Structure 1
């Protein structure tokens, strides 16, 4: 019996961070604003790294850049909130993606568990107790145990190739009037929109 050939270890080439990010942008994600508060200081960051982890116990995760000035508050806060943005909240997403002395200026919000800010009219909210943190490269992965949530059942905001988009529920659209013909028209429209988005990214 011949011995199996020895496996050769291949040293991976260094991955270009920009190219790697472009590859990841092919995966559509929802858009969230994660918030927390400690004392009188409150913070919020736009994040698309939100993900479910476990149903029992109910755990979710998201990640934050280690260089973020908001991390100090997230690290000290007992709770945080995940605001899952609705399709018409792209401006709010942009406001919390930029550096600002007071991102909450003129932004209506209430307070959830641990004082974490909650924005009205989102698709959903999750209030979480800090569960654990994982040191992962240039980010910290933060896990939260969900203690309360609200589902408004509205169309969510979606991020694809650095462009914010909307997702239409085919079933609702078809049943509002038009049936299969409306759904087919919608499919053609979304295909054209996707091609336009790719061309836009190519230009800029």
Structure 2
């Protein structure tokens, strides 16, 4: 099927939603502002050194704060974290209503038991089209036996 190049972005988004993926909540703090968002673009980038990355849409709320943050935490969500997933997709002012504490570098750590939690320091910010790819070095990680969530449309 050949698409009009102007429509490829919308088609790509629809088709990529069919691809099973995990979901994570990334949290940070910049300029005294708590930051948190749901992402499914998270993945390992390197093992030596241990690097992980995720993509930030340039239309994202608090874009400048995200781009100046020096650290972030990736919380891989568990299959029973649908409410947490929804909360971090919803209104910005409600994302940190409960269940978090301050971690290293001032980043917020969610209290939820997650399959994987990675505390990272930003190493690279790479512009890629309408997103910035944020690569962080893993400084610490915590795991649990919780089963990660899988999303697919």
2:141 matched to 1:149?
yes
What is the rounded CA distance, in whole Å, between the counterparts of 1:88 and 1:100 in structure 2?
A: 22
Three-state SS of the structure 1 residue aligned to 2:18 is: coil
Name the structure, 1 or 2, with higher relative contact order (CA <8 Å, separation 6+). Answer: 2
**Distance in 1 between the 2:82 and 2:12 partners?**
25
1:81 is paired with a residue whose SS is strand
Shift of 1:16: 2.8
Specify every segment of 5 or more residues in structure 1 that has no aligned partner in the other structure, as ranges.
1-11, 162-204
How far, CA to CA, are the matches of 1:59 and 1:100 in structure 2? 27
Length-normalised TM-score, structure 1: 0.69
What residue number does 2:101 align with?
A: 110
CA distance in 2, matches of 1:108, 1:74: 21
1:41 to 28, 33, 55: 33
- After superposition, residues 145-184 of structure 1 pair within 5 angstroms as 145-161=137-153
CA distance in 2, matches of 1:56, 1:72: 29
Count of paired positions? 149
Instruction: Calculate the aligned-residue CA RMSD, in Å.
Output: 1.5
Unaligned stretches of 5+ residues in structure 2 = none
Higher mean Cα deviation, 148-157 or 108-117? 108-117
Q: Which residue of 2 aligns with 1:81?
A: 73
Distance in 1 between residues matched to 2:64 and 2:105, nearest whole Å: 15
Displaced runs of 4 or more, over 6 A: none
Find the aligned partners of 1:27 and 1:113 in 2 and give their Cα distance: 34
More strand by share: 2
